[in-house]
Amino acid sequence: MDQKISGLIVAAGRGVRAGGGIPKQYRMIAGKTVLRRAAEALLAHPDISNLQIVIHPDDSDLYTDATKDLPVLPVVWGGKTRSDSVLLGLKALEKSSPDTVLIHDAARSNLPIEVIDNVLNALQSSQGAVPCLAVIDALWRGGRHVETPESRQNLWRAQTPQGFDFKTILNAHQTATRPADDDVALARQTGIKVTIVEGSERNFKITTPADFARAEKELKHMDIRTGNGFDVHAFGAGEFVTLCGIQIPHSHGLSGHSDADVAMHAVTDAIFGALCEGDIGQWFPPSEAKWKGADSAIFLKKAVQRADEREFAITHIDCTIICETPKIGPHATVMRAKMAEIAGLTIDRISVKATTSEKLGFTGRNEGIAAMATATLVKS
């Protein structure tokens, strides 16, 4: 994305209903605090530039332990209410001039990356977006006894992160005249239209002691894999090189048994590596004539198919191309789109970038191209 996106986590509450003797955001779930898991979920998204966390001043030591080594901005002390804390966080973010902000509850530790995607996609055409789940249970009004039914039509359960145009939501907080339960309610006070997007049952808010057991159970069922790939091809005769499925005019081609798409080979090996299923050479042996000159998209599609068959979702692919020539930057967006098309992913899950080796080694001598890639796979 071209826009600068910041995350803001509100963690200044006391969380007394959850028990445990300390604020719930500092209690552990599967070896990490609730706050750390919420922070890592936002930081894992490739489009989020920085993360601001707002805490209660009494929790300084707990916060330091919980966020050790995380790349977060200097902490901000919260206010008396949630809205006060959000405003203080927004003011702190103002100096980094974000275009968009995602405001998230520290108590939602199991945030799926696709929920972030849904919010960011809606913000391309809206000033605000909120992930929600439709109310599906029957609703009744009553005290001790059931009294009257209520329609559940057009009723939604709101979640976070709630996303907004930064200047718009900052102004809404600065001009608010009455309290609000969340940032959507405050935004609506100033007439901001907020788009509803799909949330997730996994993105529940930890409130009671039983919620900790639920969160830990879900995390234990999540299998997250990371695989790496590396490939090299020498320059040979030809008028173009094929990288990420795109033919780029060049003074030389790349030598190889297939189409020598060094970048796509690295990505394919990264996926096979995450699955612990060998490499391209085992799946498509160069000793077999049928793969001579083959389109490397065949290899990538097979790796994606294997991930799907084993019920893994590919959440992110990052590929770095190492060469002196040709220049990769002008083609990177088209290459990302092509890889996304082949892999059946959205382009915001594909990263393609380039570097040189500063005239060192075989790539520095312009003898060929190398590529390395990382793929992240998740099974929940």
| Number of residues written out for the chain | 380
pLDDT of residue 257: 86
Confidence of residue 177 (pLDDT cuts 50, 70, 90): confident
pLDDT digits (tens, 9 = 90+) for 38-60: 999 999 898 999 999 999 999 99
pLDDT of residue 345: 93
The fold for domain 223-379 equals: 60s Ribosomal Protein L30; Chain: A; (3.30.1330)
**How does DSSP assign 61-96, residue by residue?**
HHHHHHTTT---PPPEE--SSHHHHHHHHHHHHGGG
> Which tokens belong to 34?
């609730």
Taken in order 31, 35, 36, 41, is the CA torsion positive or negative? Answer: positive
pLDDT reading at 27 higher than 80:
yes
Confidence of residue 218 (pLDDT cuts 50, 70, 90): confident
pLDDT digits (tens, 9 = 90+) for 55-101: 999 999 999 999 999 999 999 999 999 999 999 999 999 999 999 99
pLDDT reading at 20 higher than 70:
no
pLDDT of residue 217: 84
pLDDT of residue 101: 98
pLDDT of residue 216: 87
Task: Report in angstroms the alpha-carbon separations of 168 from 90, 195, 331.
Answer: 11, 15, 35
pLDDT of residue 242: 94
pLDDT of residue 170: 97
Q: Give the span between the Cα atoms of 146 and 126, in whole angstroms.
A: 40
pLDDT reading at 25 higher than 80:
yes
pLDDT of residue 185: 93
> Which segments of the chain belong to CATH 3.30.1330.50?
223-379
Instruction: Report the chain's mean pLDDT, rounded to a whole number.
Output: 93
Query: Yes or no: is domain 5-220 CATH 3.90.550.10?
Result: yes
pLDDT of residue 16: 64
pLDDT digits (tens, 9 = 90+) for 125-171: 999 999 999 999 999 999 889 999 999 999 999 999 999 999 999 99
> Which segments of the chain belong to CATH 3.90.550.10?
5-220
What letter represents residue 140's amino acid?
W
Q: Which pTM does this prediction carry?
A: 0.65
Task: Report in angstroms the alpha-carbon separations of 159 from 162, 197, 200, 213.
Answer: 7, 10, 9, 20
pLDDT reading at 372 higher than 60:
yes
pLDDT of residue 15: 64
pLDDT of residue 175: 92
Q: Give how far the C-alpha of residue 60 lies from the chain's centroid of Cα atoms, to the nearest Å.
A: 27
Q: Is the peptide bond before 74 cis (omega within 30 degrees of 0)?
A: no
